[in-house]
Every structure is written in structure tokens, then in C-alpha cells.
A and B are shown apart, each in its own frame.
Chain A
Amino acid sequence: MVGVPLWWRTTETYRAWLPVNQINELAELQVCLCYRSMAHWTRYVHPVLGYQAGCHLRILNEILARDHSGDDTLSVLHVEADLSLHTLSASPCGSVVVYVIPETSVLLPQGVDVYIGHRRTAVLRMGAPMSVGKNHKQLLAHLEPRITQVVQVMSFSHTDITAALSDRVRLSPGSKESLADSMRSFKSSPGYEITFSLLNPDPKSHRLDWDIEGAVHSYIQPLLTKLAPLANFSIDSQILYYAMLGVNPRFDSSLEAYTLNADSLAHVINPVEARLGSNAASSNPVLNFLLYVPDAHHSPLYIHDHQKQPVASNAFHSPRWGGIMVYNVNDLYGRGETPLPVNININMEKVMGVFLAQLRLMLGVQSSPAPPGFLVEPCGGAGLADWELDRLMWSRTVENVATATTTITSLAQLLDQIGNIVINDNIASQVSSTVTSLQLAVAELEAGNLGFALQYSKEAILASERAFFDPSLLHLLYFPDDQKFAIYIPLFLPMCVPILLSLIKIASEARQRRKLKQSKKD
């Protein structure tokens, strides 16, 4: 009697309390994404509408009132409007402001119905000519599908969210193209390492130099500064000598050049990757950008696509890994008279243009083709429009929430299934902080506060990963049951013998008594 609780107490594994119910609730989480959209009307549109933004109107009028002498000024009108509208009301992260202008306005060029600028504003041309008598509701009903379309371009659409969740949730298979798109970009992570590597296959034939510091500063850094709320980025570069491609390019005598086919590109990366080296100092995913400069005997080298046509950028990218660009310098070699090695300075503008485009792809800044009638301002110096950042933040937040949820639910399942695992207090606290951050993130998402939602979702991911990968979970995991038997059998086996014997005796006595009764009856 004394022994049993004592034994129970000393042999049980410590398991701290976990908010299992809340985790289970999370498993059936349904997030409702809300965006704040605002429509401003100008007086041209409708006098009936109660909402009138005098200032906006005035600005638009001012712009229109200016001298429209040349065609070129007309064409930049909408750009100017975008800027001044932005300075007027800085819209918060995650919101979309749609300005509706009358059908006849010259603010937008002919044939353009919607204009999306650099910021979080769009200018929408009123569709069909509206007669004055219609009321407010009809007007809204008329505009609603078009505003939805604008919002889908500028913040998120169903396919974006599907793509963000594609790793975690099995969805109905979409088109092959969209699946490839969704798998191209890196998964959401609190930080990324960007590594530029210059591959020099033969330092005897050319000595390469690149101004990577300046190039990063002027081309990559503005984009990363813009993306700073999303993740931490660190950039480094290296030069690798005697780095070969995995395949031998074929010589095409008609082009007098070496060619790499699209089919063989898959084999290029592996041998190079062994030399790249992983970042020992962090565990964030690495985006590799390689610049390969073929040596004098193997240049020029062109990449051909599936249609055997040369690729204009002479570059390709590998999903979730990075990009490779081939940089031909054969025109810099003299006709055999210059002594080797030749000093070559690489034109970074050409290289960085390609790498920047690849980086945008890898980070998931997808510029999906705009619907007809849309005019999207091409990305400027920062390389990223505000609304593109918002778009990315929406999908990343959803992805983070999904990841953290799956991690925490699978941890809970695991702990539930395997009773041997010790759950320490710090793991319990990590789990509960994950749950609270997740709940907060979902609440903020529903309220439309994108910035906070992203912040909370990042915290949730960090805490959930820390809990999941805590080494203390493994301490007693490999304590198999047969060892327990081996320890308990020497005790229980001898103890069983008298018990069994007395049971047999009781049974035989009972049988005898029954026999005795029967014989008495007889």
C-alpha cells in the first residue's frame, strides 16, 4: 500500500501542463482576412453621394487645371496625382485607398480604367456613364466588382493565399503553372542570407574583379530596406576559384559558341554547391546568386531554353535556391596578343539587374499580370511598391500563422501519443506564448492591422520552433518498454508464484465444494 504511490511518484515523467484545448481550437482555425479599403469620390462623379473629400478634389483639380500644353505632361499626370494623394493622407500598412474619378476625366490616359501607383492608392475610372438620378446604393453595387478586382491586385487574392498555404494544406490541384509559381519563392523565415558568388573557373586565363560593395549598396540595399519589416537580410559575397559547372557545354559551330541546354541546367548546380559553403554562423535559409565567367577556351557560353533559343538574360534560377548568370567576357580577350591572365572588371549594372529580378521572384514579390485596362506603375528606385510589400506581408502573415499552427498542433499530438517525453516548464511556456501570439495575430488579421499581425505571427513561429526543437524533449524518448519489463520481471515473477498457487488452490477448492454439493443433492 505504501509502495504503490511511492513507486508511482518516483517513476513518472515530468510533464508540465499544456494548453491542449486551445491548441486543438487552433487546429480548426479559420482566419478571416479583412482589408480596409476606402473609396474617395470626387464631385464630378455624383452630387448625391454624401462623402466628399474636398481636399482630394482640389488636388485633382489643380493637377488638371495646369497647363496641358504637351502630350508628355499629360502622360505623367497620373504619376503626379499618385504622389500628391499619398502626401495628403499616408495610409496605414495593409490598407488600400481607391479614388474614383469620373468617366470623362483626363487624369488617366485613354483606354486605362485603373491606375495603380507606387503607394497604396489606386485611381479608378467610373465605368459606364452614370446618370445623375441614380442613388447611392446602385452606384456602390456598380462599383463593387471593380473595386474587388483592384483590391485583389493590390493586397491579396484567393490564389495568393492558396500559394502561401500550399506547403501545409493540400488544396485542390490548381494549374501546373500556378503551382510552380507558388513553389518558386522561399518559405517565410525570420531572416535570409543572400550570398553573391563569383565563379572563376580558371584564374590563369582571367583575373576577375567586381565592385560588389557598391553594387549591393546601390541596387540591392534599397529593396531590402523596403522589405525590412518582413525579415532580416544579411548580404555577403565571395569569389570562388576553380569552380566548375557540372556539365560540359556543347560547342555549337553555327553560333561559334558554347551552349547549355535547359535540360542540362539541373546538373549545373550540384558540383558548385559543394564549394559554396553554408553559413556556419546562422541557420537562416540562403539565397545563392552565382555569376559564372567562362574561361577563354570555353567562351562565349549561352544558355538555351526548351525551344533552343538563347535566353536573353543568359541566366536561370532554381526555385528556393537562387540564380545563376553566365557572364561572357570573350570580347575583352584580344586576338591572342594580350598576355594571360587578363584583368577583367565586371559591369555590375548588367549583373545586378538580373539578380534583382531573380531576388524579387525568390522573395515572392510576384508581379502577376495585371487584368486588362489596368495600368501598373513599374517599380521605381526602391524596387518595390508599397502595395507590393503589403501583398507580400499578407501572404507571409498567413503562411506564418499556418506554419506555427501546424508546428504546435503536431507537437501537441506527439506529446499526446508518446507518454515518455518529458515536458519541461520552459517548453510549456514556449507553447503557451505561441498560442497567445497566434491568437493575437489572428485577431489583428481580422481587424486588418497588418503590421502587428506580422509581428505576432513571427513571434509565434519563433516560439513554436523553439519548443518543437528543444533538445530536452528527447531525453527519455528512447526509453523502450522492454527495458521496463526487464527491470520489473525479477520482482513480479517470483511474487506471482504464491499468488498463482493460491488462485489455483481456490479454484480447485471451489470445484470440490461444487462436487460435494452435487453429491449431496443426489
Chain B
Amino acid sequence: CARAPMYDFQEELVIRPLHSGDIYASFQFRTVWDADFMGDQKVSHYRLFPKSLGQVITKFSVRELHISFTQGYWRTMQWGQPYLPSPPGAELWVWFQDTVTDVDGTWKELTNVLSGIFCASLNFIDSTNTVQPSASFKPLGIGNVTDHSFLRYATLPREIVCTENLTPWKKLLPCGSKAGLSVLLKSEKLFHSTFHSQAVHVRPVCQDPQCRTTSMELRQTLNVVFDLHTSGQGKREWSLFKMFSRTLTEACPLASSSKVYVDVTDNPQVRPFELSPATPLLTQAVVLGDRRTYSVYDLTQQASFGSSRSLNMLLRWKAADGEMLRPLLHSERYVAGYGLQAGEIHTLIYNHHPYRAFPVLLLSAVPWYLRLYIHTLTVSSKGKDNRPSYIHYQPSKDRERPHLLEMLLQLPPNSVTEVTVEFERALLKWTEYTPDPNHGFYVGSSVISALVPSVVAMDTNSTLDRPLFSSFFPCKEEASYFMRVYTEPLLVNLPTPDFSMPYNVICLTCTVVAVGYGSLYNLLTRTFQVDEPSPGLAKRIANVIRRFRGVPLL
């Protein structure tokens, strides 16, 4: 039976006022297509799903694809957790189908093609910055794949994200930038921000509850943080127009749902800000382990737009707000040491939970030119040695592959865990230096993946609004949540030669050779004659006397 493939498109914008006074806007566009990309049949007729991406997925037998481009660093301690974390620069990780025989070759081709699609320097991904994580990156879609030889992960921390990456990203949307939430995506505003991150996630999902067939899901996300001072002129007053220089007038006609959420969790009690126009729709959700309340504007309803036929939400603060809930997990990383030979990478992982210990997976991929001394690896928390329960280490090969270090750590409650490893800087060949070598070399962010105990489960007051019999054992699905934290990328100075040195050396040796040659030439070509030394004064006088006497001269 030939059933026409079903399509579904949803769009969504979440606005979260941050405690620093900045504002966080997160767009998500989700296209689901009930087509089986993993079957034998070739998929070639596209409707809502973008053709360019679909062709890539089909050609390279991709099971899952996650790509993100980020400009700026997410400040966890000031802003809390992002909905979708991403490291600065570009990140790409792909699960291939198990029918792929030459994974490395396919990966190389795929990165080249993606670099064309997204106008990014993904073609710089090669074997020297690609790793195969063994535990940190599990498939997010369905399918219980454990063979990590089909996984490739790479980051480009140097990548700059700008308009040329946004335009192709917008082209993948069915409504382009013509209707719906995507009219807000104007690059002049989006890139005038402290943090900008755009991502594309493709994964297979279940089509029905029994999961007999699969669909392909494409999620396009865009996260942006507008700064209080540069974008908001120091006033704690935000509106859609102020953020994006546009207002909303309609939903994308192709979308089955089109909603704007505003996080008003702190509002009912403290009322630090006022939201206008007010909406009667409120929804509650447990997001990142915390129960949040959101005001919802449904763009498919004409009522949301009011009489002015456009929606321009306004958030006005009345009072400075209270304390922000401290994120339970965050991390820092830095390079220590002096001189240009040796150094140390320090990674600090903070567990702010007052009484629960939890395990985290730490992954760091370090380029080959920082030679890690793995025997110096120390992990300590609260002054005591903390032995990782699992270590996966793949040593680097010069100019071939990077170091990969993955370990499973138990973080004691309310503690700082410090991971230290020493390294030595290698000397590069002169063509391997970047055009600005004195800027330093980037080392991509470390990734911390964890199941963090939820704040909701921590809340002892939850008995208030729930029956007693339901709350003795902590509720399973709310007990912990999955989270990924990216550390700062590192900037390491390598010993940089004076690049005119080869020429100086050439000049110097040539001069020495020339001098040697000159003297040799002189020796060979000059004729040597015995020169009669002029007789001394005594001799001359003696000869004069001898001439007088008629005796033969001397």
C-alpha cells in the first residue's frame, strides 16, 4: 500500500529573562518526515524536508547528524543552563549506519559537503581533530547502537560564525524567512549579541507508540543572548522589537504548531517583571530538573495578535530580582605552567548539590602537538585522590590523530574535582603553523556529560501539593536529567620560530661557503713567485765596501 509520507512542522520560541539582566531567546524548528532513510529504498521526493540535507543523509548513510555553530561562550554561572548546550566554534558529530564500510572516507567526504552547505570551514576537519568517543556521545534518536566505530566527533574551536552561516541555515526552513517565527531572524540583530548558537540535529524517531516504523526528525535550533548594556541600553526592558527589530504577525502557514513561550517562573511570587500583553495560557514543565512556568502565545490563534494584528511582547522589570538558583554542575578549564616547553591542563568540575554525589563522563580531545603525559594524570576532589572508575585513553599519533581521554568520575557532593594532566609542546614544521602563530593554538572544549539529580527531586516541600503516598520514593523520571556542559576552549602558545630564520640560515651558510670558495679559488688560480727580498741596510753597506775592495758581493 503506497501511503503518502506524512510531514509535520512545528516552530517554537522560548524567551527566558536571565538574572544578569540579559535575555535569552531560543528558537526551535522541528520537521518530522515519515520516511525511512535507513531502508533500501532511495528517498528522493522532498516536500517539507530540505532536499539538500536529505540528499546528504541518503548519500552518506547517516543515522544521526548533529552540527552546531557558536559564537561566544555560555556563562553558566551567570545565566544558568542553556536548553541546548554547544561549544564555542563549530561542533560536528555523526553516527553512520552500520552499512558504511569506509567510515573515515565517508566522514571526510561528508565534512566537505557540509562545509559547502553551511558555508563553514568544516573541510578543515581531518584525522588530526576527529575522535571516536567511546561513551560520551550516545545516539539521541532510537536505535541502540553501541559500536562506536560508526561515530565521529570533531570540533573546530577557531571557527567564526557569521551571517554567511545563518543564511544557509534559514534556507533549510520551509517558510524561509518569509513567515512565522523565522521573520525575527535578522542577522544584524542576531549577531549583535553576546552569545549566538545555531544548530541542526537530524535523528530517527519513532513514528507510533509501538515504534514499528521510524521517521526522520530535523531540529533546527538557534539560541541567542542579548546583552543588557549593548542591546538593551542598560534598561531592563525587553520587547520583541527591541531584540529582533521585528514583531510577529503570523504563524508559518505550514506549521502545525507555532508558539512563543516566556519563562515567568519567578513572577507569581516575586513579580520582578511585568509581561504585556498578558496571556491567560500558562504551562508548567520540568526543564533541566527545575519546574518552570511559562506564558504561552499560540500564533495559530488570531486572538494572540490582538487588535494591532502584531505581537510585540514587552517585559518590564519593576524591581531587581532575587537570587538565581545556582547551577548544580559547571566547570572551568585553564592552562598552567610557564615557559614554552611544558605545561599543565587543569579542569575543575563543580558539583553544587548539597548532598548528592553523581557520576560524570569527561571527554577531552587534545591535539597531537600538545603531548600529554598520561602518567601525570591526577584527579582529586576535596584534597583526596579520586580514582576514575573508567578511563579510555587513546594516545595521539603525530600529524595523524589527537589524544582522546574519556573518564567516568564520581563527583562528591558540594565539591570541586580537579583533573590535571601535564603536557609538552611539540615543534611544528614551518608549513604547519597558522598564518597568525603568535595568536596561539586552540584546544577544543572538553565535554562533561552527566545525569544530574534534579532540583525538583531535591525539593522537600513537594509534599505540599502532592498526596503523601505518591512522594515517598523520588519520582523516577524527574529524579535526574541528562546534561552536557562544555568547558572553555584553551588557547595555548606554541614555540613559534622566527619565520625569516630559514632565509637567514640560507644567507649565512651561503656566505660561509662563498668565503671558503673564494679562498680556495684564490689558492688555485694565483701564481706564487719567490720575491727577492730587498737586502737589508747592513748588507748594502757591506756590498758597497766589498765593491771597493773588489771582492764578490754577498
A-to-B contact residues, CB < 8 Å: 195, 203-204, 212-213, 216, 234-239, 241-242, 275, 277-282, 341, 486-487, 490-491, 493-495, 497-499, 502
Contact = CB atoms under 8 A, between A and B. Distances in A.
A494 B175 contact: no
B511 A204 contact: no
Nearest to B526: A502
B185 interface: no
B55 A494 contact: no
A491 B521 CA distance: 15
Contacts of B525: 502
A279 B59 CA distance: 11
A490 B45 contact: no
Given A241-B174, A280-B113, A490-B507, A497 B52 contact: no
Given A494-B510, A498-B518, A277 B113 contact: no
B115 to A, nearest CB: 10
Nearest to A208: B47
B176 interface: yes
Contacts of A499: 521
Nearest to B502: A487
Contacts of B175: 203, 241-242
A281 B44 contact: no
B45 A212 contact: yes
B176 A239 contact: no
Contacts of B518: 494-495, 497-498
Contacts of B60: 281
Contacts of B544: none
Contact of B52 (A213, A241, A277): A277
A241 B175 CA distance: 6
B324 interface: no
A242 B178 contact: yes
Nearest first, the 5 A-B pairs at minimum CB distance are A494-B514, A490-B510, A491-B510, A281-B59, A236-B44
B412 to A, nearest CB: 49
Contacts of A239: 46-48
Contacts of B48: 239
Contacts of A195: 51
Contacts of B337: none
A281 B116 CA distance: 10
A221 to B, nearest CB: 12
B253 interface: yes
A216 B45 CA distance: 10
Contacts of B451: none
A230 to B, nearest CB: 20
A490 B504 CA distance: 10
B125 interface: no
Contact of B515 (A236, A341, A494): A494
B63 to A, nearest CB: 17
B45 A203 contact: no
Contact of A241 (B176, B521, B522): B176
Given A238-B47, A494-B517, 17 more contacts: A195-B51, A203-B175, A204-B179, A213-B2, A236-B45, A236-B55, A238-B50, A238-B51, A239-B48, A241-B178, A277-B52, A280-B116, A281-B55, A281-B58, A486-B503, A498-B518, A502-B525
B168 to A, nearest CB: 9
Interface residues of B, number: 39
20 contacts: A203-B253, A204-B250, A234-B44, A236-B51, A236-B55, A242-B178, A275-B171, A277-B50, A277-B171, A280-B52, A280-B113, A280-B117, A282-B59, A487-B503, A491-B510, A491-B513, A494-B518, A495-B518, A498-B518, A498-B521
Contacts of B178: 241-242
B514 A280 contact: no
Nearest to B46: A238
Nearest to A341: B253
A277 B522 contact: no
Nearest to B177: A242
Contacts of A278: 52
Nearest to A277: B52
Chain A interface main SS type:
mixed
B511 A490 contact: yes
Contact of B179 (A213, A235, A242, A494): A242
Nearest to A340: B253
A277 B254 contact: no
Interface centre among A212, A280, A497 (most CB of B within 10 A): A280
Contacts of A495: 513-514, 517-518
Interface of B: 2, 44-48, 50-52, 55-56, 58-60, 113, 116-117, 171, 174-176, 178-179, 250, 253-254, 503, 506-507, 510-511, 513-515, 517-518, 521-522, 525
Nearest to B513: A491
Contact of A281 (B46, B113, B514): B113
A491 B512 CA distance: 9
A84 to B, nearest CB: 38
Contacts of B522: 498
A518 B50 CA distance: 98
Contacts of B174: 241
Contacts of B47: 238-239
A475 B515 CA distance: 35
A322 B148 CA distance: 44
A497 to B, nearest CB: 7
Given A212-B45, A490-B506, A491-B510, A279 B179 contact: no
Contacts of A203: 175, 179, 253-254
A195 B176 CA distance: 20
Interface centre among B51, B179, B506 (most CB of A within 10 A): B51
Contacts of A241: 174-176, 178, 254
Contacts of A502: 521, 525
Nearest to B519: A498
B295 to A, nearest CB: 27
A237 B46 contact: yes
Contacts of B511: 490, 494
A488 B370 CA distance: 36
Contact of B55 (A212, A216, A280): A280
A6 to B, nearest CB: 14
A494 B520 CA distance: 13
Nearest to B53: A280
A195 B45 CA distance: 9
A486 B52 CA distance: 49
Contacts of A279: 52, 55
Contacts of A281: 55-56, 58-60, 113
A147 B45 CA distance: 47
A234 B43 CA distance: 11
Contacts of B250: 204
Nearest to A496: B514
B430 to A, nearest CB: 14
Contacts of A204: 179, 250, 253
Given A203-B254, A241-B175, A280 B46 contact: no
A497 B50 CA distance: 71
Contacts of B515: 494
Nearest to A241: B174
A353 B7 CA distance: 28
A281 B110 CA distance: 9
A228 B46 CA distance: 24
A277 B44 contact: no
Contact of B176 (A213, A242, A486, A491): A242
Nearest to A282: B59
B179 to A, nearest CB: 7
B44 A235 contact: yes
Interface centre among B44, B59, B175 (most CB of A within 10 A): B44
A282 B174 CA distance: 23
